[in-house]
Amino acid sequence: FLAGAQAAGLTNLKGHRSVGGMRASIYNAMPLAGVEALAAFMAEFRKKH
């Protein structure tokens, strides 16, 4: 997931080093286009895997 996200220009999704997992920080300052890009990538990843 992370390699594909990186290739799609989506960065900083890796979770905390002691907990692991994935993490997307979507705050008010995050542009809507970035949230939409992440959602589209996740939907496509789900279809492929």
Residue 16, classed as helix, strand or coil, is: strand
Amino acid at 33: A
What is the pLDDT at residue 44?
A: 97
What is the pLDDT at residue 6?
A: 95
What is the pLDDT at residue 16?
A: 84
Residue 25, domain CATH: 3.90.1150.10
Task: Domain count for the chain, please give it.
Answer: 1
Whether 17 has a pLDDT exceeding 90, the answer reads no
pLDDT tens digits, one per residue of 19-49: 888 988 888 888 999 999 999 999 999 999 9
Residue 30 domain boundaries: 2-48
pTM of the prediction?
0.81
pLDDT tens digits, one per residue of 3-12: 999 999 999 8
> CA of 14: how far to CAs of 17, 34, 39, in Å?
8, 16, 16
